[in-house]
């Protein structure tokens, strides 16, 4: 019996699946449409700066995440000591009333998490391959799934498949798939109904250091054009001494309305908004700007467990933050681990 398993997506959930199957007989292949791993837990590098422009840090909610980080190696692991404060729609900043035990990243960025996890596995990662559809095949000698890329070229056949892209993209894969089964429509409709927030991140760099008592600000009433503002210089190793780099994540409404703005124009508008929020005129004039749009950034709901597990007897599984309804790196990762463990149990 073969044990070929395909994971679509090398984000936190996909990495979790591979990690769960690291000491098993499964031959795991991960297909990732981009050239990197980590999904939204990714990092860019520019002019000596490292910056986490999607997910900002790992927030462990139980001991297992801390234990995992130790297992992966603590060299380069950094904890953000400065707190997160809040502000409202009027821009009134208040000291945060919730202390977080840890906010973890790495000196070279959060993308190290996915890289270190995958180094613990034997998974093959095929980068730059976007899976467009599946095809169920049962020819008498073998029953399983064939995967096809955007050019409709077959890229392999697998006994089991785990789909981890954001819910709307996963629904699109199912919609285009050849699988004559009533569950395909039921799954597609349920997954496609998961609501998502669109977020545009704008990074603003300055040749001076901001003197502020907090690492980040979060908008608590969701009624300000800026949803989140953080300072990468609070992460050891991310920004050269004497410089500042803001990661400004805009509200879903602002992000959708300004999705087509060029980097330069978005930078000017966001810098002015950040300047007003921080009450610092210098912030309106960054010396360089970067931006990234996340069409499907954070889920606002989850899929019913019974529905999302309904095709596991056919070797079709789903994992991701939208499965658990929590847009956190650790939540997506541990959901992937749980799915990988169910794959192992089903095989046994």
pLDDT digits (tens, 9 = 90+) for 220-234: 999 999 999 999 999
Q: How many CB atoms lie within 10 A of CB 261?
A: 17
The closest alpha carbon to 229, from 166, 263, 279, 295, belongs to 279
Residue 302 pLDDT class (50, 70, 90 cuts)? very high
Q: How would you classify the pairing of strands 84-87 and 216-219? A: parallel
Confidence at residue 297, expressed as pLDDT on a 0 to 100 scale: 94
Half-sphere exposure of residue 130: CA atoms within 13 angstroms, side-chain side: 9
Q: Does domain 45-110+196-299 have CATH number 3.90.660.10?
A: yes
Rama region for 300: left / alpha / beta (φ>0; ψ in -120 to 50; rest): alpha
CB-based burial, 214-238: b 16+ in 10 Å, e otherwise:
bbbbbbeeeebbbbbbbbbbbbeeb
Residue 185 pLDDT class (50, 70, 90 cuts)? very high
Q: Give the percent of the chain with pLDDT over 70.
A: 99
Name the residue ranges covered by the structural domains of the chain: 4-38+116-193+301-347, 45-110+196-299
Confidence at residue 29, expressed as pLDDT on a 0 to 100 scale: 98
Each residue of 25-37: pLDDT tens digit? Answer: 999 999 999 999 9
Confidence at residue 2, expressed as pLDDT on a 0 to 100 scale: 61
pLDDT, averaged across the chain: 95
Q: Give the percent of the chain with pLDDT over 90.
A: 94
The closest alpha carbon to 54, from 20, 12, 100, 107, belongs to 12
Q: How many CB atoms lie within 10 A of CB 43?
A: 23
What is the rounded average pLDDT of the residues 293-318? 95
Confidence at residue 1, expressed as pLDDT on a 0 to 100 scale: 45
Has residue 307 got a pLDDT over 80? yes
Q: For the domain 4-38+116-193+301-347, what is the CATH code? A: 3.50.50.60
Q: What is the DSSP letter of 58?
A: B
Each residue of 100-149: pLDDT tens digit? Answer: 778 999 999 999 999 999 999 999 999 999 999 999 999 888 999 999 99
Each residue of 64-91: pLDDT tens digit? Answer: 999 999 999 999 999 999 999 999 999 9
pTM: 0.95
Q: How would you classify the pairing of strands 196-206 and 244-250? A: antiparallel
Q: Which DSSP string corresponds to 96-144? A: -S---S--EEETT-THHHHHHHHHTS--EEEET--EEEEEEEE-SS-EE
Each residue of 139-182: pLDDT tens digit? Answer: 888 999 999 999 999 999 999 999 999 999 999 999 999 999 99
């Amino acid at each position: 019996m073969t044990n070929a398993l395909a994971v679509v997506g090398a984000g936190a959930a996909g990495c979790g699946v591979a990690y769960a199957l690291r000491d098993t007989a499964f031959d795991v292949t991960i297909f990732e449409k981009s050239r990197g791993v980590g999904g939204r837990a990714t990092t860019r590098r520019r002019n000596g700066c490292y910056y986490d422009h999607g997910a900002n840090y790992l927030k462990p909610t139980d001991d297992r995440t801390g234990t995992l980080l130790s297992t992966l190696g603590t060299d380069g692991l950094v904890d953000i000591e400065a707190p997160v404060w809040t502000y409202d729609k009027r821009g009134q900043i208040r000291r945060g009333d919730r202390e977080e035990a840890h906010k973890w990243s790495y000196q070279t960025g959060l993308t190290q998490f996915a890289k270190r996890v995958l180094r613990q596995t034997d998974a093959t990662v095929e980068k730059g391959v976007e899976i467009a559809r599946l095809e169920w095949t049962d020819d008498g000698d073998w029953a399983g799934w064939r995967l096809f890329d955007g050019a409709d070229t077959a890229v392999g056949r697998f006994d089991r498949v785990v789909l981890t892209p954001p819910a709307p993209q996963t629904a699109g894969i199912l919609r285009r798939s050849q699988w004559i089964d009533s569950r395909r429509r039921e799954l597609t409709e349920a997954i496609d109904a998961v609501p998502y927030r669109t977020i545009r991140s704008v990074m603003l760099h300055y040749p001076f250091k901001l003197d502020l008592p907090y690492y980040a600000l979060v908008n608590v009433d969701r009624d300000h054009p800026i949803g989140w503002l953080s300072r990468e210089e609070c992460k050891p190793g991310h920004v050269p001494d004497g410089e500042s780099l803001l990661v400004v994540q805009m509200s879903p409404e602002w992000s959708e309305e300004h999705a087509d703005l060029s980097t330069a124009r978005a930078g000017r508008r966001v810098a002015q908004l950040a300047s007003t929020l921080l009450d610092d005129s210098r912030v309106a004039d960054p010396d360089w700007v970067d931006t990234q749009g996340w069409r499907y950034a954070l889920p606002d709901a989850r899929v019913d467990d019974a529905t999302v597990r309904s095709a596991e007897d056919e070797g079709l599984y789903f994992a991701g933050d939208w499965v658990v309804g929590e847009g956190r790196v650790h939540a997506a990762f541990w959901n992937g681990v749980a799915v990988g463990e169910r794959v192992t149990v089903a095989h046994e």
